Structure 1
C-alpha cells in the first residue's frame, strides 16, 4: 500500500496528494511546503495588486508628490514579483523556469532594494533622489542587475549552448549585486535613523519629528529582517543542506520559503507604511485653514464704512467756542481762512543761479 502511495525518485518521493500521472516537475505543488508557500504568496500577490490599483485610482484625483507615488508603485510591483517567484521554485527546475529564476529573481529584489535606497536618500534630502529623480535612481540601480542577469543567460544559453543548469553557489553569486544594494540601503537607513533622533530643527514640529522617527525605524527594521532572511537562505543553500544531507531535496523549499517571508517583510515594513504616510499627508493637505470671519462679522453683508465723528459732539462745540473767545480776548481775531488767497511764506532767491559767487570774486580782485 505504501509503495502505491509513494514512488521513489532521485531527489525525493511523490507526495501522497499527487496523482500518479502527474509529471515530476509538478510534485511540489501538492507537497505540504508547496501548498503553504502558494497560499502565503498568493495572498501577498493579491494584496500588492489591489494596493497598486488603489494608488492608481487615487492618482487621478490627487497629484501631490507624483515622483514619490511612482517610486512606491515600482516598489509594490517589485514586491508583487517577489510573491510570484516562489511558483517557479515550487515547480522543479526546467528550461522554462530557469530564465525566470535567474532573471526575475535578481530584478525583483534589485527594484525593491533600489527603491529603499532611493527612499532613504530622499528622506535625507539628497538632491539626487528628490521628486521624479527618485524614480530615475531606482531604474538606474535595477538596470545594472538586468545587465548582469541578461549577460549570464546569453553566455550560458547562447554561446556555450548548455542547458540552463547551475550550482547553488553560482545562483548565490548571481545575487551579489542585490546584496550590495541591500547593504547600501541599510547604511542609508541607519544614517537617516541617526539624523531623525540626533538632529534637532526648530522648523520641524513635534508631529514631523515623530513621523521621521517612525519612518526611519520601519525602514531599518525592514532591511534588518531582509538581511536575516538572505543570510539564512544563502547559508542553507550553499552549506547547510549539504552538511545535513538534504541536498537537493531542500534547495527549492528553502528559496521558496525565503521568498515568501521576504515578500511579506517588504510589504508590511515598507509598502503599507508608505501608503499610510501618503494618505496621512493627503488628509492634512486637504484640510482647509480655519476661517474666523463669521465670528466677527457677517459674510453676506458688507461691512459698513466707518463714519467720521466724535464721541460727544456737544462737548466738542463747547470747547471750540471757549477757545475762540479766549483768542479774541488777547487781541487775536479769529477769522475764517480764505482758500483763494496765497498764504505761502516768501523765501529769498539767488540772482545768479548758475554761478552765484562770480560777483563776489570780481569785487575782491
Structure 2
C-alpha cells in the first residue's frame, strides 16, 4: 500500500505499517486493539489464577488435566496477541507470522480440547482415564502436525520461490491462507464430534465438563464458517476495486474466538477445578469389589492359559491414591458337624434308617 506523506490523525512519526494502531479514522483498528489487549490481560489473570488453584486440587483425575489446560490458556493468550499482527499492515514479517501462528495456535487449543474430551469419554463410563503424560503427548503431537504444514508452506513459497506475500494477489493469498487451515478445520470438527460422546455414561459429574467443550467448539465452528465464507468472497473484485475487509475480518474472528475460549471453557473449568469429587462421579464400592474379583480371576486364569481371551478393562478408582480395598470376609470352615449329630439318640435313629434301607435293597435284589 502507498504510504501517506503525513501521518493520519492520532499518529505521530511512526512507520506507515502501524497507522491502523493509532488512526482514529480507522476505528476498527483501535477497537480491536482494545479488545485484544483486554483479552491478553484477562488471559494473564486467568493463567495466574489457574496456576495458584492447581496446587489445591485434590482429585487426581483433575490433576492429570492441568498440563493440557495450561497449554490451552497459553494458546488463547497467543491468539489475542496475534490480533496485532493482523491490525498492522501486511509485510514480509507479519505475513510469515500470520501464516504460521494462526493455524498453530488454534491447532494447540483444539488439540487440548480433543484430548480432554477423549479423557472424559472414559471417565463418564467409569473406566481408567488417560495418564498425564499420555494426554500431554497427544496434544503436542497433534499441534506439531500443523507446525510442519505451515513451515513447509513458508519454506516453499517464500524461500524457494521467492514470492513476496505483501505483493501476492489478495485472492490467491486468501485461498492459500484457508488451504493451510484445512487440518485445523478437520481437528475442530472431529473434536466436536468426540465431545458429543461425553454425554453417554452413567457418571453425570463429568458430563458438565464435556458440555463446556461442546459449546466452545460449536461457537468456534460458527465463527470459522462465517469468516472463511466472507474471506473468500472479499477477494472478488467489485467495480474494479478489491475489498480491504480481509485483515479486519480475520482480526475480528481472532478476538471473538479468543473470548469464546475464555468465557465458554476456561472460566467454567477454573470454577470447577477445586471442587472435591462427588461419590456419584465414581463407581460404587460394590462395582469396585466385583471388578477386583473379576480382575483377580482373569489374572489367575492367564497364568494357567496365557492365550485365554476376554480380559476385563481397567476400571476407574476413586482419587484417593490407592483405590477401594475390599475387606476380607470372616473365614468360614470348609466343613462343620451339626450339633444334633453328636447326640446318641440321633445316632441310633440313623443306624435304624440305614439298616432298613439295606434290607429293602437286599429284598429288591432277590426278587
TM range (shorter): 0.5 to 0.7
Partner of 1:342: none
> Where does residue 216 of structure 1 map in the other structure?
210
8 Å CA contact retained: 2:234, 2:246: no
Name the SS of the counterpart of 1:162 in structure 2: coil
Larger Rg: 1
Residue of structure 2 in register with 1:67 after alignment: 64
**8 Å Cα contact 2:234/2:244 also seen in 1:** no
Alignment-derived partner of residue 76 in structure 1: 73
For 2:192, the equivalent position in structure 1 comes to: 186
Note if contact 2:195-2:210 (Cα within 8 Å) is conserved in structure 1.
yes
Alignment partner of 1:254 out of 241, 244, 249: 249
Secondary structure of 1:132 counterpart: helix
The residue aligned with 1:135 is 136
Q: Tell me which of the two structures has the higher relative contact order, counting C-alpha pairs closer than 8 angstroms and 6 or more residues apart.
A: 2
1:39 has 2:34 as partner: yes
> CA, structure 1 residues 103+189, in 2 after alignment: closer, same or farther (shift >3 Å)?
same
2:280 is the alignment partner of 1:281: no
Once the two structures are TM-superposed, the CA of residue 273 in structure 1 deviates from its matched residue by 1.5
Deviation at 1:15, TM superposition (A): 9.0
1:152 aligns with 2:153: yes
| Alignment equivalent of 1:121, drawn from 118, 140, 153 | 118
Q: Distance in 2 between matches of 1:137 and 1:44?
A: 27
Match of 2:84?
87
2:19 to 9, 15, 27: 27
Q: TM-score, normalised by structure 1?
A: 0.66
In structure 2, what is the Cα distance between the partners aligned to 1:213 and 1:69? Answer: 18
Distance 1:55 1:275 in 2: 6
Q: State how far apart, in whole Å, the 2-side matches of 1:243 and 1:128 are.
A: 53
- Aligned residue number for residue 228 of structure 2: 234
Q: What are the superposed Cα offsets for residues 302-357 of structure 1, whole Å, 9 maximum, x if unpaired? A: xxxxxxxxxxxxxxxxxxxxxxxxxxxxxxxxxxxxxxxxxxxxxxxxxxxxxxxx
Q: Is the contact between residue 12 and residue 249 of structure 1 (CA under 8 Å) also seen in structure 2?
A: no
Aligned to 2:9: 17
1:49 aligns with 2:55: no
Q: Say if 1:68 and 1:132, in contact at 8 Å, map to a contact too.
A: no
Q: Distance in 2 between matches of 1:130 and 1:95?
A: 42
Q: Secondary structure at the match of 1:212?
A: helix
**Aligned residue pairs, count:** 264
Post-superposition Cα deviations, 1:213-255, rounded to whole Å, max 9, x if no partner, equal: 4323222111111011101111111114636677341110000
TM-score (structure 2 length as normaliser): 0.65
Q: Distance in 1 between matches of 2:197 and 2:277?
A: 27
* Alignment partner, residue 314 of structure 2: none
1:269 matched residue in structure 2: 264
Deviation at 1:168, TM superposition (A): 0.6
Match of 2:96 among 70, 91, 99: 99
Cα offset, 1:258, TM superposition: 0.5
CA change 1:70–1:230 in 2 (3 A) is same
Contiguous gaps of at least 5 residues in structure 1 = 1-8, 285-365
Q: C-alpha displacement at 1:190, in angstroms?
A: 1.5
User: Deviation at 1:74?
Assistant: 0.3
Q: Which is further off, 76-85 or 126-135?
A: 126-135
Q: Does the 8 A contact of 2:87 with 2:247 survive in 1?
A: yes
